[in-house]
């Protein structure tokens, strides 16, 4: 059993000793990159079938991001229209108040 690493001093960030968090055993001992695990794979439909081909995987990720972008743009358009409508109604009420 390896001894536990001492707590890392907190510099006002979450995860310091005051929150009960501790440094990982051996976290600073090695800078060698770890091997990716299955849980590191992106959440893309068909990802297991594409695991061997990086170009196909990147294309699948790009398509997924493009779908997300389209959904976000639609949502922003709806929000923009609702905000514009609310601003116009408020401006109309303010103009009416100024006239009377």
Q: What would the pLDDT profile of 37-81 be if each residue is shown by its tens digit?
A: 655 555 555 555 545 678 899 999 999 999 999 999 999 999 999
86 inside domain: yes
18 within some domain: no
Answer yes or no: is 38 within a domain: no
83 lies in which domain range? 72-100
Is 22 a domain residue?
no
User: What Cα–Cα distance (Å) separates residue 46 from each residue in 36, 43, 58, 71, 90?
Assistant: 18, 9, 12, 21, 49
Q: Which residue has the tokens 């922003």?
A: 76
DSSP conformation class of 41: S
Please report whether residue 20 resides in a domain.
no
**4 inside domain:** no
Q: What is the rounded average pLDDT for all residues in the chain?
A: 75
How far CA 73 is from CA of 43, 44, 49, 59, 77, in Å, comes to: 21, 20, 30, 21, 6
Look at residue 87 and tell me if it is in a domain: yes
The rounded distance, in Å, linking the Cα atoms of 4 and 2 is 6
Q: What pTM was computed for the model?
A: 0.42
* Domain count within the chain: 1
């Amino acid at each position: 059993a390896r001894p536990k690493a001492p707590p890392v001093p907190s510099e006002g960030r979450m995860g310091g000793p005051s929150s009960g968090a501790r440094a990982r055993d051996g976290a600073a001992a090695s800078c060698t990159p770890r091997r990716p695990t299955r849980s590191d794979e992106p959440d893309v439909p068909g990802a297991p079938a594409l695991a061997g081909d990086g170009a196909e995987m990147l294309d699948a990720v790009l398509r997924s991001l493009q779908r997300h972008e389209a959904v976000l743009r639609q949502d922003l358009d709806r929000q923009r229209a609702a905000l514009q409508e609310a601003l116009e109604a408020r401006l109309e009420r303010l103009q009416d108040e100024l006239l009377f």
